Structure 1
């Protein structure tokens, strides 16, 4: 698109920042799905953000979603914490295990936190296959030239190819 802003009909929006969202099977509750959006990283992973206030002892226990352990690898997790004040205060966090971590700092301080973790089991289990990124033109012929899995995605794209691959210039409303 040469850096142009536009919309790809369907789930994706291309607006200069390549916002991506997707739905996956819930790793714990078979009757549910998870809707996720992507941030850019060289690692396949997830992030969870939040805020809490430290108690009178200067601690807070943060509980992550019930599926966190099932969705992520045990190694390579990271926690970052910051105070919500303009004062410089020391704070730290423990390593996330069993779906929780603890923040330590000054009593009563409001904290923000972010947890990043690599996902699995695809990353950790070679028996599940390898992933290779293959760039193809965003056309019906380009998509047809690859072995797209799962097959249902390939079938869905084939059924709706005339509308799925239409790029629209957001400024003019004209097809690109």
Structure 2
């Protein structure tokens, strides 16, 4: 069994009936889009806690809820990487409150927060990375909405 050497938490993030993405622009490369999220750090209490931290860092955002819906495994040097994909609903966002270090490094390119319609066609029109994620979202738009619309039962 390969060792997991990296974990990411990413949000298929809905704000009403729109998907919140980050449009990345870098010199010499076509623009592409990514979901909100990033690496799980050793200080994070859980993978879901890492997701909440990343949403705050990148959007100044809070989540109303998040449900793990998919995993993507990547072959990396020295082991494997696992991307934990959550369907999530945005509760609030304040871009002035975001704290991610990437926003103060112009050499890393542009990070533009965008809203796109949450439809299979709209997702397929974007250069959304990684391609497996774009396929998963486009194939499962209705299912992802239904997961987030299930009432939360109190324990």
TM interval, short-chain normalised: 0.3 to 0.5
Normalized per residue, which structure has more strand?
Answer: 2
Normalized per residue, which structure has more helix?
Answer: 2
TM-score normalized by structure 1?
A: 0.33
TM-score normalized by structure 2?
A: 0.36
Higher relative contact order (CA 8 A, sep 6+): 2
